[in-house]
Structure 1
Amino acid sequence: MDTLPQELINKIVLCLERYSGQSQAPIIEQQGDHSKLPPYATISSRWRKAVEFVTFHRLSIKSHELSQLEVMMTGNRPKYLKRLSFAITLPEYSEESCGRVESIEEQRCNDETFTQAIIDLFSLVRKWEDAGLVHGLRLQLHGAYSPTDLRDWNQIRLEMAQHKRGIDIFEERWENSYLHLSRPERIPTLSSIVYLRITGHIFRKLAPVVGPGLAAFLPNLQSFYWEFGEVDDTSINVESRASFARMLNQTKLDKCCAAEITFNQDPASDQRVAEPSRIPTGALYDPFSVSLRNFSQNLTSLVLNGYVDSTLFWPPSLETSSMPSWPTLKKLTVFFNMAAPSGEWYFDGTPPGEIEEQWGGSIVQFRDREDAKTLNPFVTAFAKAVQQMPALEHFLLETELGHDIGYWEISYYAPGIKEDGHDNEDGAVFKRNVAALTKAHHVIIPDLRGHGDSGKPKAGYNVARLAMDLKNLIEFFGFRDGTIKAIGTSLGAAILWSYSELFTTGAFSHMVFVDQAPLQNYLEDWGPEFGNLGCNNLEALNAMQKTLIANPKEAHLGTIAACLGYRSHPRPRDPRSDSSQWEDDEAFFLAEALKGDGWWYGKLMADHTANDWRHPIAHAFGPESGSETKVLVVASSRSGCFPAAGPLKVVELVNGGEKEGLAKGVTVDWGGHWCYWEKPEMFNALVIDFFS
């Protein structure tokens, strides 16, 4: 066995099953408790190297597990580590504390715990660096939480209603608390980290200053993604933006070339209400926007989402600075809020008349035209800045005017640079299909409720509600019956089935259903030959829901592994885990998925997996329904979600069991569940041919 080349042994190990029931996922993506690989490490030293490469290539740990990590990472094992995800565990708190907001002392204690966890991690990595064992490391700081935060809220609400326990205010306890670095000078400097991802809004909110604060200790940082959220207290938000600006101005990131910074803010639901100012009292301009302008001048790519003004692009008259320039910037994407940091609106409109006030506040959106007084200086500064970007290949300046209004945008692609859609939308998963489809069709790709940049309500997590949203969309555009061609992938297919059950198929001339069986769960007459390969029973659903809440990244990585055919059913020439395509696809889909609420996703999956669409499909589409809608079913032999026979059952249901009818099916092998992403040119040709 030792005569085999190391490269061949590595490839053999990459084809093994690491955990039971996950053979459809690439071995590096598989996760579980009892790996099958250790016995292979005993074959020889070369086999041990191959096994350790897989085992230690990507690790996800919590702060209380650091001592175990240090014991485990002996010998050359740190050399194999390329991706490290780190979540920080905060102290637990009592039942009595659940009923009140955090005290200043409790916040300080959490800050100290948070900072010490980072010090401990950086100290460990520094040991590996000093031994020459680690380089090119990608670090994700996956937020922080207390185990008490994850208590069963539904059970507690029930007990409160039954007067079995005292009051519990849940997330209100920490909604105005930011986690800060406490005495950051104690943090070791690391030269091995080239990428830093911070998701600082999923559990407890991390102060935005944590981003540049940590980057100051990473001199070789090449790119980063930071995502933060606001608290409810306006004064705290003002100070957090100012602190971020001060630290970013002080931080030298000479080797950083690509940055993506997102500040999640809920859009104003009632546009009659004035927005609060986010500029410090007495400041003559927005220090947040100015700091980002100064920082961005050494970048090749910048994606920014937040409240910004004209000083992001050009110095104000009261600022003493030289003319800015961006000599290497190739991509600039700015998603700006429709209100300026000063609180002034960039857009105006005519408020509606009488409005019936609703519980929880009214949704009043009417600002649908530019306010020249505020928007013109912003756009003028942007135009002046663009003239100082000689390498620019693409820019996008965009804002959302309201869920019922749409978007305002300016975009540009240099000659020879192909337009590829908007990376910020849930609909961005179809960006590789838009250009081909728009040659003969007007294409609309909505963000579903709870997804992408659409609203994130606490209700509406069922397929029927999403079907009603589709109904509202169709009515908004005023499309005539029989003129719509629809593509429903995965959940999208179920939405179309629900719509058809509720409102008939009359609106549609054609429908395409991509890799979705009419039933996910297993029943007596519907087993593994048809149903979902993973989430097909109550236990699997419960496990998924818990993971979506406690570790959403892990849950979404599992989805990515199952949905991309080159991962679920790899072939010899497919992208491998060290390829740019593998990393780019993962980063893209993970960023899109993390825009949603894991708890909400879990509720939606409970409804989605339980629905049995077999009879509704036969009733709405079958020969006796009177439907004239043509149907194409696309199944995949390389799907990690369904065996091809499951989706193809829809053809049988539409055609009433006959060989010929309004439906036809095709099984592809050039992609998996997301075949439209993996081989867009083949998918586009298939759909365009069907539509024509």
Structure 2
Amino acid sequence: MSSQVRTERGSQNMVDTSDAALAASLSGDFRNGYGEVNGTRIHYVEGGKGTPVLLLPGWPQTWWQFHKIMPELAKRHRVIAVDLRGMGGSAKPALGYDKKNMAKDIHELTQALGYKQVNIAGHDIGAMVAYSFAANYPDATVKICLIDVAHPEESLYTMSLLPPPGHAVRGTGESIHPVYLWWFAFNQLPDLPQQLLAGKFRLLIDWLFDSQLRNPAAISERDRAIYAAAYSQPDAIRAGNGWYQTFGQDIIDAKHYGQIATPVLALAGERNYPYLRELLPTQASDVRVAKVNSSSHYVPEDQPEAVVRELLGFFKS
């Protein structure tokens, strides 16, 4: 399948929550588009003027997770927020969810859009793809920002899922004790997640956000409805599982990367800051890890002003 893109302007009169309507609701002349790249269809939203900045989201969200920061970034940059392979408006193929292949999706998309070099900021799964992009396409990468997550590495095999006495599995917005990432294991299962969650994904959405956000209202009722709709179909759940089921291959791939030379900024919530501060200097030779105070894992929603400030400073030409 050739690398082609097409763009459509969302109608300002739409009142639904389609991607075109959501794109049109943002200041900065954002448009909804699609790219046929690497054998699949990738959805993106772009707007603004200046040097390109790609925004790559994570589970269980879509490009919309960046809607609070996109208008400000678009005042200085061409902003392209992408639904990863399997996410939101993008296609949901059976295979290809290792981060190296997903980085190829993004590389071919940037080429199809006419960009030889790009800056990338990724959150969660998107951060893993951003790192893989820099490792595999260094000449196409200016700088990357990893938001609260690093590329999979072997310590994932030692993660504890059983909390010791006095530690609850359910976190709270006021606590920074460890989160027991049971969904890492749950998403490894074939078939069962679709059977349990199809049409009921909102239950998981609310649990994840309410148990981790410092301010649960930071991800609104409307936002949650958008994400729940994006993941409620069996194919969408299966595709999201694929990002986790390929962690083993991602860990193998990372052993060949060594330290990347691309400048890296990491924006860490309070829980993950110690982990990223220790790990990332082993993965990149030019790295700064910044702690975002009063932030959970969902940094762009908890502290959008801080994220905008950091990204504009980091990506400044």
**Could you tell me how far 1:513 is from its partner in structure 2?**
0.5
Q: 2:7 aligns to what?
A: none
Query: 1:675 corresponds to which residue?
Result: 299
Distance 1:610 1:589 in 2: 27
Match of 1:487 among 87, 102, 121: 121
1:491 positional shift: 0.8
Match of 1:546 in 2: 192
Q: CA 1:537/1:561 → structure 2, altered by over 3 Å: closer, same or farther?
A: closer
CA distance in 2, matches of 1:678, 1:647: 19
Tell me, yes or no, if the aligned pair for 1:521 and 1:532 is still in contact at 8 Å: no
Residue 81 of structure 2: which of 445, 458, 472 is its match? 445
Question: What is the DSSP-based 3-state SS (H/G/I as helix, E as strand, rest coil) of the residue aligned with 1:454?
Answer: coil
SS state of the match for residue 500, structure 1? helix
Number of residue equivalences? 267
Shift of 1:553: 5.2
Residue 445 of structure 1 aligns to a residue in which SS?
strand
Q: TM-score, normalised by structure 1?
A: 0.33
Alpha-carbon RMSD: 4.4
Q: State how 1:483-522 maps to structure 2 within 5 Å.
A: 483-503=117-137, 505-519=138-152
1: CA distance, partners of 2:299 / 2:206: 12
Amino acid aligned to 1:686 = E
Determine the structure 2 residue equivalent to 1:612: 251
* Cα distance between partner residues in 1 of 2:197 and 2:126: 25
Do 2:127 and 2:146's aligned partners in 1 also have CA atoms closer than 8 Å?
A: yes
- 1:279-311 per-position Cα deviation (integer Å, ceiling 9, x unaligned): xxxxxxxxxxxxxxxxxxxxx983276xxxxxx
Q: Structure 2: which 5+ runs fail to align?
A: 1-12, 46-60, 162-177
Structure 1 position 597 matched with structure 2 position 259: no
> Partners of 2:213 and 2:22 in 1: how far apart?
37
Q: For residue 303 of structure 1, what is the aligned residue in structure 2?
A: 16
The alpha-carbon distance between structure 1 residues 633 and 688, as it changes in their structure 2 partners (threshold 3 A), is same
Structure 1 CA distance for aligned equivalents of residues 189 and 241 of structure 2: 10
Match of 1:651 in 2: 280
| Cα-to-partner distance string for 1:658-690 (whole Å, 9 max, x where unaligned) | xxx510101223322221122211211121122
Shift of 1:647: 3.0
2:94 to 441, 449, 458: 458
User: Which amino acid in 1 is paired with 2:282?
Assistant: L
Structure 1 residue matching 2:81: 3-state secondary structure: coil
Cα distance in 2 between the residues matched to 1:439 and 1:521: 40
Which string of whole-angstrom CA distances, capped at 9 and with x for unpartnered residues, describes residues 199-251 of structure 1?
xxxxxxxxxxxxxxxxxxxxxxxxxxxxxxxxxxxxxxxxxxxxxxxxxxxxx
CA contact (8 A) 2:134 2:141 kept: no
Match of 2:108 among 440, 465, 472: 472
The residue type paired with residue 589 of structure 1 is Y
TM-score (normalizing by structure 2): 0.66
Residue 546 of structure 1: how far off its partner (Å)? 1.6
- 5+ residue gaps, structure 1, are 1-299, 306-331, 336-393, 410-424, 622-626, 656-660
CA deviation digits over 1:589-619, x for unaligned, max 9? Answer: 2223336522222233211366327954861
Which one has a bigger Cα radius of gyration?
1
Tell me which amino acid in the other structure corresponds to 1:606: Q
CA distance 1:559–1:610, change in 2 (3 Å): farther
Q: How big is the shift at 1:451?
A: 1.4
Say if 2:187 and 2:193, in contact at 8 Å, map to a contact too.
no
Match of 1:534 among 173, 181, 186: 181
Distance in 2, matches of 1:650 and 1:437, equals: 28
| Distance in 2 between residues matched to 1:536 and 1:575, nearest whole Å | 20
Per the alignment, do residues 464 and 457 of structure 1 end up closer, same or farther by CA in structure 2, a change over 3 Å counting?
same
Residue 586 of structure 1 and its aligned partner are, at CA, apart by: 2.1
Q: 1:598 to 1:536 in 2, by over 3 A?
A: closer
The equivalent position to 2:211 in structure 1, one of 554, 557, 568, is 568
Distance 1:647 1:544 in 2: 30
Distance 1:521 1:553 in 2: 34
SS of alignment partner, residue 597 of structure 1: helix
Structure 1 counterpart of 2:232, which letter?
L
Aligned counterparts, 1:161-176, within 5 A: none
Deviations 1:78-126 (A, max 9, x none): xxxxxxxxxxxxxxxxxxxxxxxxxxxxxxxxxxxxxxxxxxxxxxxxx
Higher RCO (Cα < 8 Å, 6 or more apart): 2
**2:94 maps to amino acid:** K
C-alpha contact 1:545 1:598 (8 A) present in aligned 2 = no
1:691 alignment partner in structure 2: 315
Q: Secondary structure at the match of 2:275?
A: helix
Alignment of 1:29-44 (within 5 A): none
Partner Cα distance (1:581, 1:603) in 2: 25
User: How far did residue 632 of structure 1 move?
Assistant: 0.6
Matched-pair contact (CA < 8 Å) for 2:187–2:245: yes
- Deviation of 1:630 after TM superposition, in Å, equals 1.1
Q: Distance in 2 between matches of 1:610 and 1:541?
A: 15
Code of the residue aligned with 2:242 in structure 1: it is K
Contact 1:463/1:495, CA 8 A, preserved across alignment: yes
**Corresponding residue number in structure 1 for 2:204:** 558
Q: Which amino acid aligns with 1:600?
A: A
CA distance in 1, matches of 2:283, 2:34: 41
